[in-house]
């Protein structure tokens, strides 16, 4: 019997089995785990084989099917350790607030890069619109970011979980797909899910005023079926998005704004750092490529260098 992992606590896994029943299962000792060197060998979204053990009769996870894709990141706690956020996804829903808490474009671009490597589409959702004055500095910054990402063909939504605005558009995006919610702690992932399906009644929490950051309210990733079709994975907030397993030359191939220019660089293997006649750098000077994208690109290359040095 097959099943899909809905939740993982590390010692047991909640599996929705083909017979329609949800079971909390352990993993049989002999299971061949993927050699990804991750802190969690089984992730939410994994398809597993469940069977009854001949001796005891306790049902256990006996095998994991190969993953169609997954979102992986560098664990911030342990250098070199990697953590799979979820697998077998149709899309990522990246939740952003520019204030309360602040999401940096570096975080956004790392998430986009990791998703692009597995061809997982990302929808950008700017939440907490009720807190934002469009004429304020942050309001104008948000509009500039939205325009920039839309120009690269990303789908961008604006929502307020508090006032239930933009929820229909989010439903249209989530319908009949398996989505993973990603974002810092406190951006409103669980709140938005509650807005999508009030019967979920997920725990959400007040942001600590002192740090203007959420204290992690969701502690384990969990997949929920949506009443209008599809599934969504609520996950604990993440602070950093360390990219893993990239070649430096690969990074720009996933950046749509760089792609128009890379072919015009003097050197075919240009890293767009200090090489002569770099068309990407010229595009930054002329304003075709945003400076913050160029800065993020270089920080990602630095991360890759540092990761290799471990």
Beta strands in 194-235 (DSSP E): 222-225, 231-234
Instruction: Write down the residue that tokens 């994975």 correspond to.
Output: 233
From candidates 206, 210, 263, 269, binder to ligand GTP by CB under 6 A = 206
Alpha-carbon distance of 72 to 38, in angstroms, equals 9
Subset of residues 238 to 277 that bind Zn ion, contact rule: CB under 5 A: 265, 270, 272
Minimum CB–partner distance for residue 186 and ligand GTP (Å): 4
Of 131 and 285, which has the nearer Cβ to ligand GTP? 131
* Partner touching 161 among Zn ion, ligand GTP, Mg ion, none, CB below 5 to 8 Å by kind: ligand GTP
Q: Are 190 and 204 in contact (CB under 8 A)?
A: yes
Q: Is 178 in the site for Zn ion (CB under 5 A)?
A: no
- Which candidate, 58, 55, 56, 6, places its Cα nearest to that of 27? 58
From candidates 87, 160, 218, 252, binder to Mg ion by CB under 5 A = 218
* Partner touching 183 among ligand GTP, Mg ion, Zn ion, none, CB below 5 to 8 Å by kind: ligand GTP
Q: Are 154 and 120 in contact (CB under 8 A)?
A: no
Subset of residues 280 to 309 that bind Zn ion, contact rule: CB under 5 A: 280
Q: Which two tokens stand for residue 198?
A: 């009030």
Alpha-carbon distance of 75 to 137, in angstroms, equals 33
Alpha-carbon distance of 181 to 222, in angstroms, equals 10
Alpha-carbon distance of 254 to 197, in angstroms, equals 34
Size of the site for ligand GTP (CB under 6 A): 25
Of 127 and 252, which has the nearer Cβ to ligand GTP? 127
Minimum CB–partner distance for residue 260 and Zn ion (Å): 12
Q: Is 193 in the site for Zn ion (CB under 5 A)?
A: no
From candidates 214, 221, 232, 300, binder to ligand GTP by CB under 6 A = 214
Question: Helices 291-308 and 279-286, interaxial angle, to 10°?
Answer: 140
Q: Is 191 in the site for Mg ion (CB under 5 A)?
A: no
Alpha-carbon distance of 34 to 67, in angstroms, equals 10
Subset of residues 111 to 170 that bind ligand GTP, contact rule: CB under 6 A: 127-128, 130-131, 160-162
Q: Is 87 in the site for ligand GTP (CB under 6 A)?
A: no
Alpha-carbon distance of 271 to 305, in angstroms, equals 13
From candidates 7, 178, 189, 272, binder to ligand GTP by CB under 6 A = 189
* Partner touching 162 among Zn ion, Mg ion, ligand GTP, none, CB below 5 to 8 Å by kind: ligand GTP
């Amino acid at each position: 019997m097959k099943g899909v992992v809905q939740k993982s606590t590390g010692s047991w896994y909640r599996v929705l089995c083909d017979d329609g029943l949800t079971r909390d299962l352990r993993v049989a000792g002999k299971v061949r785990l993927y050699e990804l060197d991750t802190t969690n060998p089984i992730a939410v979204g994994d398809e597993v084989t469940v069977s009854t053990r001949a001796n005891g009769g306790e049902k256990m996870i006996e095998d994991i099917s190969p993953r169609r894709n997954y979102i992986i990141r560098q664990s911030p706690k342990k250098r070199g350790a990697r953590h799979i956020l979820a697998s077998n996804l149709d899309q990522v829903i990246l939740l952003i607030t520019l204030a309360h808490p602040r999401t940096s474009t570096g975080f956004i671009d790392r998430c986009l890069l990791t998703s692009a490597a597995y061809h997982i589409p990302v929808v950008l959702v700017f939440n907490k619109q009720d807190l934002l004055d469009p004429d304020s500095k942050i309001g104008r910054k948000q509009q500039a970011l939205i325009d920039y990402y839309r120009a690269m063909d990303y789908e961008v939504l604006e929502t307020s979980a508090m006032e239930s605005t933009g929820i229909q558009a989010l439903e249209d995006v989530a319908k009949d797909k398996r989505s993973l919610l990603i974002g810092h702690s406190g951006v409103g992932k669980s709140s938005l899910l509650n807005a999508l399906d009030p019967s979920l009644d997920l725990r959400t929490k007040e942001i600590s005023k002192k740090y203007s950051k959420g204290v992690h309210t969701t502690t384990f990733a969990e997949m929920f079926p949506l009443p209008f079709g599809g599934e969504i994975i609520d996950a604990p907030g993440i602070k950093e998005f360390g990219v893993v397993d990239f070649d430096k030359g690969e990074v720009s191939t996933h950046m749509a704004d760089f792609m128009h220019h890379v072919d015009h660089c003097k050197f075919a293997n240009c890293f767009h750092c200090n090489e002569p006649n770099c068309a990407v750098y010229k595009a930054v000077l002329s304003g075709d490529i945003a400076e913050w994208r160029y800065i993020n690109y270089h920080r990602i290359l630095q991360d890759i260098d540092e990761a290799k040095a471990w």
